[in-house]
Chains A and B, each alone.
Chain A
């Protein structure tokens, strides 16, 4: 069975600073996809970034970037130039089989302070 582990329950960062969220996963599959979702207080799940395992290049979306280490089964998210609107719960998610079953980590609460 696949598992996703987010070891940091909460992280605090000041505005304009950088924060990195960790995520590790366990799988025997070779082809899979990884996602970071953001859940602000509104509760809406918002896709932040997506990584395909067969691509070596790390995905980036504006201030968000990932460090994908396939051999280490690690998928960390870096938020640069943090903004107050980045305050949210962040979930790492893993997708492997053809039936689209996302496996989520427990989440990391990010608090951005002025």
Chain B
């Protein structure tokens, strides 16, 4: 059981470039989410999904797209990277949204120049 995996671990982008952060879980969890972590601000929710084909926006969705075609995968797409998107990104999953523990991936550190 690998849990929640994220790739890449670290990425450098130039302003305007696009990329996809990958997230996968092998626990058959319905709920998956993306957070970003910035210094002094804790983690903030970007997008979430309650099942395949269902996604919704979180607190800071601008500049990011998601889709959920399978239960296992939940990629996060940056359409046109900006320096303000420099952050650490975490993917998380849980078996059911309310009250269940969310399990986090190891994170992806993104630097946008």
Contacts and interface: CB of A to CB of B under 8 A. Distances in A.
Interface string B69-113: 000000000000000000010101010111111111011000000
Interface residues of B, number: 29
Sorting the interface of chain A by its residue count into under 10, 10 to 19, 20 to 34 or 35 or more gives: 20 to 34
A100 B106 contact: no
B44 interface: yes
B53 interface: no
Given A104-B44, A106-B40, A98 B106 contact: no
A42 B104 CA distance: 13
Nearest to B32: A100
A93 B102 CA distance: 11
B57 to A, nearest CB: 10
Nearest to A102: B102
Contacts of A98: 97-98
Contacts of A99: 48, 50, 56, 97
Given A44-B104, A99-B48, A99-B56, A106 B42 contact: yes
A52 B101 CA distance: 11
B58 interface: yes
A47 B96 CA distance: 16
B100 A100 contact: yes
Contact of B45 (A45, A102, A106): A102
Given A43-B107, A44-B106, A47-B101, A101 B48 contact: yes
Contacts of A33: 98-99
B33 interface: yes
B48 A91 contact: no
Nearest to B101: A47
- Which of B40, B43, B106 counts the most chain A CB atoms within 10 A? B43
A32 to B, nearest CB: 8
A17 B70 CA distance: 47
A100 B48 contact: yes
Given A100-B31, A104-B44, A45 B90 contact: yes
Q: Which 7 A-B pairs have the closest CB atoms?
A: A100-B97, A104-B42, A45-B104, A104-B43, A33-B99, A106-B42, A98-B98
